[in-house]
Amino acid sequence: MYNAIARNKRNTVIIISLFVAFFTAVSASLSWLTGNIWVGVSLLGFICVFTLVQYFAAARWAIGLAGGVRIDKETHPRLWRTVENLAISEGMPMPKVYIIPDDSINAMAIGRDPWHAHVGATEGLLKITEKYELEGVMAHEMAHIKNYDTRVKLIVFGLVGAFSALAQFCWLFIFGIFGSSRGGRQRNRGAFLTILMFPLGFVLFFIGVIAWLISAIIGPLVMNGVSRQREYLADATGALMTRHPEALMSALNKMELFSQAAARKNIATAGMYFTNPFRRGLFARLFSSHPATDDRIDRLAEMAQDFF
């Protein structure tokens, strides 16, 4: 488990380093093409500020995308006490707790570290689970926080947004240069700019396409691939927290029987949920943020025989 935590911290450094290297190269290229160093500096500065804002605010944004409503002990004592007992037993800080007004059966965890963590459960989960099942699900979510899985997911979530912003910047810049102009003098000026700036426009188009592919397809696929592997570890860690793997197995069985797509879902936040918030099917399984439920149950059953 400690090796997994250390690996997640190393992955965080690697991801951020690659991200900074990519945008530094893009900024340097733009400065060289335009002959103006401030073009690259401005882009790099914007991306750095955007990334910092994402890092510190993305957890609240992700909860907001899910429609989470923050609760306390008085408003929803059952969920609050479940999370509180797990936090105390593991010596972890108490995360912020949310109810997600959705009839789907799910839960989620997000946050850059255990001291800035958020956990949530859907109304559907609270309706269908017994006390021990709810404890198993929330232990799984607390395990993601303990193992720093949520930090890796949060950073990837933020980087996907940064690449999306870069793609939009490229499109806006291209349309600004090559957009149609009215009037003879403006038309002549627009034609001159088109000839002068064509190499830059081609480069920006290429960068925009790459950034869009990363933000819309590659980034979510990488995030989901990482998420699938971390789910197994979170299941095992959660089972060790409660000493009751059958509780999590029972909850997974119920989710498999009564599952439905979440009302509010986003591909960028899918890996933050307990189970895949999208509808099932072959395509969904290929690009799912979670391993098959049957596989998770089988691994928990093996763990129950070996350790309990």
**Catalytic residue numbers, as ranges:** 141
First to last CA, the chain: 18
Q: What angle do CA 12, 19, 277 make, to 5 degrees?
A: 65
How many CA atoms, within 13 angstroms, populate the side-chain half-sphere of residue 149? 30
Q: What angle do CA 256, 254, 263 make, to 5 degrees?
A: 65
* The residue count for the chain: 308
Q: What are phi and psi of 213, to 5 degrees?
A: -60, -40
Contact 157, 268 (CB under 8 A): yes
The residues that bridge with 70 in the sheet, in sequence order, are 98
* Residue 276: closest CA among 295, 300, 303, 302: 295
Q: Which amino acid is at 224?
A: N
- Which residues, including other chains, have CB under 8 Å from residue 296's CB and lie 6 or more apart? 231, 232, 235, 252, 290
Structure tokens at 117: 């963590």
Q: What is the DSSP string of 46-74?
A: HHHHHHHHHHHHHHHHHHHHHT-EE--TT
- Distance, in Å, from the CA atom of 293 to the CA atom of 195, rounded to the nearest integer, reads 57
- Distance, in Å, from the CA atom of 107 to the CA atom of 138, rounded to the nearest integer, reads 8
